[in-house]
């Protein structure tokens, strides 16, 4: 009974010690000696505990209330109370499990929900970062001298804090992230937390590897996958809407926008590449691995957009050719589309230089073909008039063809130089093919007027060449030598056929040999038909001559 008050006094002393240690991050700044005194008392009681346990082994007697284990309790309650003050200011149970207590303190810094502010996660993580720095600075500079070295108070505190932050982030992830929250969290975990803004801060300077990863590799991988999946969903939603809006714009009764050089264009191609580049830039700030995944996805989406764009162009073409009065500026918008395709190639080449992507010219070439379809649809009746009895005594068909093309070429001046050259070269090939097709259709007999018809064909071939040459010279741009040679051969093919028709029968074999050397891909049937067209060889004789020549 005499010592009955000792236990109560001991409990009151313990409560006072926990209260002091719970406020230690405040107290250590003003009265560090108070913390030192509290720690000395705990150390003294720990020595008394050890002595009591040792005596128990000898005598079997253990004094009431021993061992107190104040050192173990003081450290846990110290961490809990300190984090309560710095991170949440909540009142928690004195002996609450350490990890749960720390998480609760951290959650106390989440002042907003997603519904309150879309930047809630950015603000929450930034407040947490600032509080961590302040907390660790106090622990490292002020608390460390107040605790015995064998407590290892700094490293212990860092470890407990690290594990608690990790657990809290896992819970944030489990609750679900949307949109840019993936970027915010990944950037904080992979760049901010281990970098100079936190662990490597000049006042903290702790090696991140000593603490281990704040999130597991599996968790990071899941975040990467979710981020890429979210990015793909955004691409898909945007691309369909953009293609639909672009297709509607093509039908407007106004000309497309043009740049400073007068080249028509629309904006959708630029926007898709800007989206890809923006996503690459953001991903690059997180990690190179994520940037690579974003690049692969971006290339896939550009390819997919190209297919959607191609489908929209074909639908635009088909609808227009069903009723050509519905789209007043079809040619102008096809010019804009071709320029868009070239711009896409240029942007892809830039991306290739920076990131190793690829580019494809097929979309631009297809659009150029559609542009020429419009022109040659107007010209088709006049090509049908070639090599007819009406054509023999009239220059109207070729004059009309040249005048119509010259008019279209004025619109084509709104093409970028590289596109313009390609379209003119293709126009030259189309004219040559259609003219040669008209020759082989044998719409009249040439026996009596073979020379006159041949001279007229040569004259008109020169007229067509005179139309095309100035157009190319007016938009001087570098061209591929092989393409130039191919189109030059095409433009001369009409005259070469006329020479075969025109020459005397005595030298026809020599003329055919020269023709075959120039155009080695000519077939036996074509040569047979060409001889038959002259009118001075029968079908069987023509075939026999060609067979003998090619054998």
Tally helices (H) and strands (E) across the chain. 21, 2
Return mean pLDDT, the chain. 79
Q: Which residue did the predictor score with more confidence, 184 or 373?
A: 184
Q: If DSSP codes are grouped into helix, strand and coil, which group holds residue 68?
A: coil
Lowest-pLDDT choice from 70-84, 95-109, 368-382, 465-479 = 70-84
- Average pLDDT rounded to a whole number, residues 73-91: 38
Task: Write down the pLDDT at residue 486.
Answer: 45
Task: Write down the pLDDT at residue 84.
Answer: 38
Lowest-pLDDT choice from 20-29, 96-105, 315-324, 435-444 = 96-105
pLDDT in tens, 292-335: 899 889 888 888 888 898 899 999 999 888 888 888 899 999 99
> Does residue 209 surpass a pLDDT of 60?
yes
pLDDT in tens, 336-358: 988 888 888 788 777 766 655 44
Instruction: Give 311-318's long-range contacts (Cβ < 8 A, gap of 24+).
Output: 312/243, 312/246, 312/247, 313/337, 313/366, 313/367, 313/370, 314/370, 315/247, 316/247, 316/250, 316/251, 317/370, 317/373
Lowest-pLDDT choice from 8-12, 77-81, 179-183 = 77-81
Q: If DSSP codes are grouped into helix, strand and coil, which group holds residue 265?
A: strand
| Phi, psi (degrees; rounded to nearest 5) at 255 | -75, 155
User: How buried is residue 337: exposed, middle or buried, by Cβ count under 10 Å (0-12/13-18/19+)?
Assistant: buried
What is the per-residue burial (b if ≥16 Cβ within 10 Å, else e) of 487-504? beebbebbbbbbebbbbe
| C-alpha neighbours within 13 Å on the C-beta side of residue 465 | 15
From the CB of residue 141, how many other CB atoms can be counted at a distance below 10 Å?
A: 13
Task: Write down the pLDDT at residue 550.
Answer: 83
- Average pLDDT rounded to a whole number, residues 242-267: 90
Q: Is the dihedral of CA 446, 451, 457, 461 positive or negative?
A: positive
Which strand (E) or helix (H) includes residue 258? strand 257-258
**Can you read off the two tokens belonging to residue 448?**
């009596």
Q: If DSSP codes are grouped into helix, strand and coil, which group holds residue 379?
A: helix
Q: Which residue did the predictor score with more confidence, 119 or 31?
A: 119
Distance CA 156, CA 134 (A): 17
- Average pLDDT rounded to a whole number, residues 71-95: 36
Lowest-pLDDT choice from 4-18, 127-141, 409-423 = 4-18
Task: Write down the pLDDT at residue 55.
Answer: 67
Percent of residues, the chain, with pLDDT higher than 70: 77
The helix, strand and coil proportions of the chain, stated in percent and rounded to the nearest 5, come to 75, 0, 25
Q: In which residue are the tokens 């936190």 written?
A: 198
Task: Write down the pLDDT at residue 65.
Answer: 55
Of 499, 515, 497, whose CA–CA distance to 451 is shortest?
499
Q: What are the residue boundaries of the structural domains of the chain, listed by start? A: 4-215, 505-551
Distance CA 381, CA 239 (A): 40
Task: Write down the pLDDT at residue 352.
Answer: 66
Task: Write down the pLDDT at residue 194.
Answer: 93
Q: If DSSP codes are grouped into helix, strand and coil, which group holds residue 462?
A: helix
- Average pLDDT rounded to a whole number, residues 471-489: 51
CB 98 within 8 A of CB 156: no
Task: Write down the pLDDT at residue 420.
Answer: 86
CB 399 within 8 A of CB 382: no
**Can you read off the two tokens belonging to residue 269?**
């191609």
- Average pLDDT rounded to a whole number, residues 465-485: 60
């Amino acid at each position: 009974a005499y010592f009955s008050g000792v236990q109560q006094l001991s409990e009151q002393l313990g409560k006072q010690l926990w209260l002091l240690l719970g406020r230690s991050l405040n107290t250590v700044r003003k009265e560090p000696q108070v913390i030192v005194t509290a720690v000395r008392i705990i150390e003294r009681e720990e020595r008394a505990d050890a002595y009591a346990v040792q005596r128990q082994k000898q005598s079997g007697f253990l004094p009431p209330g021993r061992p107190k284990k104040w050192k173990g309790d003081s450290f846990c309650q110290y961490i809990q109370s300190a984090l309560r003050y710095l991170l949440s200011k909540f009142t928690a149970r004195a002996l609450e499990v350490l990890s749960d207590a720390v998480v609760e303190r951290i959650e106390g810094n989440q002042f907003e929900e997603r519904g309150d502010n879309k930047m809630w996660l950015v603000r929450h993580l930034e407040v947490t970062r600032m509080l961590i720095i302040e907390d660790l600075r106090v622990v490292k500079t002020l608390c460390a001298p107040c605790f015995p070295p064998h407590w290892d108070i700094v490293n212990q505190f860092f470890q407990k804090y690290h594990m608690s932050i990790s657990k809290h982030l896992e819970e944030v992830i489990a609750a679900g992230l949307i949109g840019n929250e993936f970027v915010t969290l990944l950037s904080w975990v992979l760049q901010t937390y281990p970098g100079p803004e936190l662990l490597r801060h000049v006042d903290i300077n702790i090696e991140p590897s000593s603490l281990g990863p704040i999130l597991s590799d599996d968790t990071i991988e899941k975040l990467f996958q979710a981020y890429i999946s979210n990015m793909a969903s955004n691409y898909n939603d945007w691309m369909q809407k953009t293609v639909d809006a672009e297709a509607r714009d093509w039908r407007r009764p106004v000309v497309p926008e043009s740049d400073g050089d007068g080249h028509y264009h629309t904006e959708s191609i630029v926007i898709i590449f800007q989206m890809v580049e923006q996503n690459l830039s953001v991903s690059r700030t997180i990690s190179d691995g994520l940037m690579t995944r974003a690049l692969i996805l971006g290339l896939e989406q550009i390819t997919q957009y190209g297919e959607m764009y191609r489908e929209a162009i074909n639908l635009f073409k088909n609808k227009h050719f069903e009723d050509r009065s519905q789209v007043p500026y079809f040619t102008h918008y096809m010019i804009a589309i071709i320029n868009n395709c070239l711009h896409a190639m240029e942007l892809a080449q830039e991306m290739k230089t920076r990131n190793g992507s690829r580019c494809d010219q097929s979309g631009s070439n297809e659009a150029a073909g559609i542009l020429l379809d419009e022109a040659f649809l107007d010209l088709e009746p006049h090509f049908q008039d070639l090599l007819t009895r009406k054509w023999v005594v009239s220059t109207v068909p070729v004059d009309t063809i040249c005048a119509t093309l010259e008019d279209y070429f004025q619109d084509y001046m709104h093409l970028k130089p590289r596109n313009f050259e390609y379209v003119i070269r293709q126009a030259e090939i189309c004219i040559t093919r259609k003219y040669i097709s008209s020759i082989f259709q044998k719409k009249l007999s040439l026996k009596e007027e073979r020379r006159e018809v041949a001279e007229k064909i040569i004259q008109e071939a020169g007229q067509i060449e005179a139309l095309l040459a100035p157009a190319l010279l007016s938009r001087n741009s570098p061209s591929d030598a092989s393409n130039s040679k191919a189109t030059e051969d095409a433009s001369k093919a009409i005259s070469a056929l006329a020479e075969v028709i025109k020459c005397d029968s005595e030298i026809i074999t020599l003329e055919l040999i020269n023709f075959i050397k120039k155009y080695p891909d000519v077939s036996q049937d074509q040569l047979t038909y060409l001889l038959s067209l002259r009118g001075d060889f029968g079908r069987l004789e023509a075939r026999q001559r060609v067979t003998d020549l090619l054998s």
